[in-house]
Amino acid sequence: MFASELDYDLPQELIAQQPVSPRDSSRLLVYNRRTGQAEHRRFAGLVSFLSPGDLLVYNNSRVLKARIYAMRSTGGRVELLFLGRRWRHVWEALVRSSARLRPGENLMLERRQSVAGGRRARGGACGKPLFLLKESLGGGRWLVENLSGLETIGLLEREGEMPLPPYVKKKLDRPERYQTIFAQAPGSAAAPTAGLHFTSSLIGDIKGAGARLAPLTLHIGPGTFRPVSAEDLDRHQMDAENYRLPRPTYRALQETRRRGGRVIAVGTTTVRVLETVFGEPPGPLAGATGLFITPGFRFSAVDAILTNFHLPRSTLLALVMAFAGIEETRRLYREAVRERYRFYSFGDAMLLL
């Protein structure tokens, strides 16, 4: 398959800039792979497509306030996006600066100043050096040491900003709207967006219908959303992301299979973990996965997928095409555009049965 086959036309006004409220009032396009029929519903009606004994598996990763703005000793501004811990106080980060960076440089926190209207403006450097650029990993990635003496996750929660995708041009009034209701394990640089549609009321309805829910964790890095870089998909290299499938979830999956229920993956990140663990050969219950699912892939673990509408030339769209079919996916996306569905992270959802 070629990257150009992942292109489609999308009017810019259909890129959602804000989440809907309540969360489960988003729209839901339901596609039955067996009959080829598509239905247009609201996400709150998801329960009508579930059966007793079904198992919904979701990603409980929590988005870090992973974006930090810092200052060089020269006064230059630096943006850091923290991706994951390498060892105790050393993290991997994407670092952007208008001038060349050098190993051994100290960075200070950028001072924030209050201005009229309750908005925040940025000023000069604040206090003593906070970060040390230890080593360049290439491609804008660095090993960065936290010099503050605080745990890095706590420091990010206090000083960082929510790393919204670049196509979201408006800041959120409430950053928690970029967290799913399931978010518990901190570590992601982006939200597992299929989970953004769930509410506590809907979860109660799902359980009342006899379906179950179970968690896993995959900490999402920017590689999940990085456009396919090679025209031939076989040459695209996925970034590995850390995951953990709890043993109770593993047992619930086995029991669901034994009883004839369906395994429904909430999001493409969940799909990748399940197909890693239950693939051939089977993967461990915890580790790192760089699984890139493209058309022709044989699914071993997943019977249905809940997912959002994804960017052109994305690995996520390739996964959807692998599950629903290339031409079927193109048809569904054309229909979603025609019906004015909202796209991307804060957009509407699709259930592939």
pLDDT at 73 > cutoff 90: no
Question: Pairing mode, if any, of strands 67-71 and 38-42?
Answer: unpaired
Whether the CB-CB separation of 231 and 7 falls below 8 Å is answered with no
In contact, 309 and 324? CB cutoff 8 Å: no
pLDDT band at 120 (very low <50, low <70, confident <90, very high): very low
Average pLDDT of the residues in 248-264: 97
Lowest mean pLDDT among 21-35, 109-123, 130-144, 318-332: 109-123
How distant is the alpha carbon of residue 10 from its chain centre?
A: 21
CA-based end-to-end distance of the chain: 24
Does the pLDDT value for residue 228 go beyond 50?
yes
pTM of the model: 0.90
- Domain map of the chain by residue range? 3-63+175-352, 67-159
Question: For position 331, what pLDDT does the model report?
Answer: 97
**Are 3-63+175-352 and 67-159 equal in CATH topology?**
no
Write the pLDDT tens digit of every residue in 277-336. 999 899 999 999 999 999 999 999 999 999 999 999 999 999 999 999 999 999 999 999
Report the pLDDT value the prediction gives residue 115, as an integer from 0 to 100.
Answer: 32
The beta-strand segments (E) located in the chain are 27-31, 38-42, 55-59, 61-63, 67-71, 77-87, 90-97, 106-114, 120-138, 141-146, 185-188, 212-218, 241-244, 263-266, 286-289, 304-308, 349-352
- The band of 127, judged by pLDDT with boundaries at 50, 70 and 90, is low
Of residues 163 and 116, which shows the higher confidence score?
A: 163
- The helix/strand/coil state of 73 is coil
Q: Which of 97, 52, 64, 62 is nearest to 79 (CA)?
A: 97
Determine the pLDDT at residue 74: 86
Fold of 3-63+175-352: QueA-like (3.40.1780)
More confident residue, 251 or 140: 251
Cβ atoms of 216 and 249 within 8 Å: the answer is yes
Structure-model confidence comparison of residues 180 and 221, the more confident one: 180
Distance CA 306, CA 287 (A): 24
Pick the more confident residue, 304 or 98. Answer: 304
Q: Does domain 67-159 have CATH number 2.60.40?
A: no
The mean predicted confidence, pLDDT, of the chain is 91
Query: Can you give the pLDDT at residue 124?
Result: 47
Mean pLDDT of 50-76: 94
What the block records as the tokens of 78 is 């630096």
